[in-house]
């Protein structure tokens, strides 16, 4: 069930608020200039249901599926989740530090959680994403760019290479870049050959 989000600039009215307890403050004066795109499905490869919401709000029944035993006790969050049908959910205020990237680095800067916004696409690494998800993602990125001095949009795989693979080869970077029409410098090197 959705709860009312705190009234601050970090919550988007276009998203259904599902406040997570898994967040913390950003370092004082830290500019929010990076977006990290992830993919998630729970259990892996299954879509729909409320398992992602339950995971990010610490309400997942660890015994409901064998896979959940492998992640038992995990406390994570992202700022946003884009469902397969394009529905947008928000778990953490953009003004706060969500727990999405873990050990990470982008262009020599460590701890991406400090300065990034995490967006999870409901999907599985290697599988394709839905048109509705790209539409919602583009609208979200455009709104975020109006609010924050964004300088990059990357995948989890780009900030944690060798440790993470998402969103993976099923994510169509060329489509995203074409839809946004942002300068090439905003995106990781080598993604134009994907999907």
Residues carrying an active site annotation? 120
DSSP assignment string, 48-97: SSSHHHHHHTT---TTSSGGGGGGTT-----SEEE-TT--EEE-S-TTEE
User: How far, in Å, are 33, 34, 36, 121, 183 from residue 144 at the CA level?
Assistant: 10, 10, 12, 16, 16
> Residues in the chain, how many?
195
Tell me if 148 sits within 8 A of 35, measured CB to CB: no
CA distance 17 to 63: 26
Q: Determine the angle formed by the axes of helices 131-147 and 173-180, rounding to 10 degrees.
A: 50
17: which 2 tokens?
């608020």
CA distance 33 to 184: 16
């Amino acid at each position: 069930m959705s709860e009312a989000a705190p009234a601050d600039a970090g919550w988007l009215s276009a998203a259904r608020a599902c406040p997570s307890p898994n967040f913390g403050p950003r370092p004082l004066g830290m500019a929010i200039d990076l977006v990290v795109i992830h993919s998630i499905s729970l259990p892996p490869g299954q879509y729909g249901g409320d398992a992602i919401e339950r995971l990010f709000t610490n309400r997942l029944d660890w015994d409901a599926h064998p896979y959940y035993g492998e992640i038992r006790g995990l406390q994570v969050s992202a700022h946003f989740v884009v469902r397969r049908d394009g529905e947008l959910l928000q778990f953490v205020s953009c003004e706060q530090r969500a727990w999405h990237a873990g050990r990470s680095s982008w262009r020599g800067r460590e701890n991406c959680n400090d300065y990034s916004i995490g967006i999870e696409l409901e999907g599985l690494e290697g599988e394709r994403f839905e048109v509705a998800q790209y539409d919602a993602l583009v609208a979200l990125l455009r709104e975020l760019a109006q609010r924050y001095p964004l300088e990059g949009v990357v995948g989890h795989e780009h900030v944690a290479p060798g440790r993470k693979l998402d969103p993976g080869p099923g994510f169509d970077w060329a489509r995203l870049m074409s839809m946004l029409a942002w300068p090439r410098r905003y995106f990781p090197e080598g993604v134009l050959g994907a999907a």
